[in-house]
Amino acid sequence: DAGVTQSPTHLIKTRGQHVTLRCSPISGHKSVSWYQQVLGQGPQFIFQYYEKEERGRGNFPDRFSARQFPNYSSELNVNALLLGDSALYLCASSFGTGSGANVLTFGAGSRLTVL
């Protein structure tokens, strides 16, 4: 079975540019969450989407946005990139938001470098 897939795996951008990261959840999973992981630190929660609606937002500026599509895939968009946005961006999927959806399955991440 295919796991959580993310694209691109690596990308390099310059300050001020925009980036779109994509995530396809495990088949049957309806919830997608996004995390940012800076080198040497644990992941930080950015967004959670369930059934195309935002269900949670972390402490990130409005330059970060996301959406979920009818097929439950998701995009994370970051505008006006800063050097500090350089990080591994992780997508995780789960079946839902209730008690039967305790476990997050993560993708391998998209490594963003901002120059």
Partner 1 sequence: DAKTTQPPSMDCAEGRAANLPCNHSTISGNEYVYWYRQIHSQGPQYIIHGLKNNETNEMASLIITEDRKSSTLILPHATLRDTAVYYCIVRLQDSNYQLIWGAGTKLIIKP
Q: Which of 22, 45, 60, 79 binds partner 1 (CB under 8 A)?
A: 45
Q: Does residue 71 bind partner 1 (CB under 8 A)?
A: no
Q: Strand runs (DSSP E) across the chain, as ranges?
A: 5-7, 10-13, 19-24, 31-37, 44-50, 53-57, 64-68, 74-78, 87-94, 105-106, 110-114
Q: Does residue 22 bind partner 1 (CB under 8 A)?
A: no
Q: Does residue 70 bind partner 1 (CB under 8 A)?
A: no
Say how far apart CA 16 and CA 94 lie, in whole Å: 33
Q: Point out which span in 13-21, 61-69, 71-79, 105-113 binds partner 1 (CB under 8 A).
A: 105-113
Closer CB to partner 1, residue 38 or residue 80? 38
Q: Which of 40, 53, 62, 84 binds partner 1 (CB under 8 A)?
A: 40
Two structure tokens written together for 32: 């997608």
Q: Are 79 and 63 in contact (CB under 8 A)?
A: yes
Give phi and psi for 3, each to the nearest 5: -85, -155
The site for partner 1 (CB under 8 A) is made up of 4, 31, 33, 40-45, 48, 55-56, 58, 90, 92, 94, 97-99, 102-109
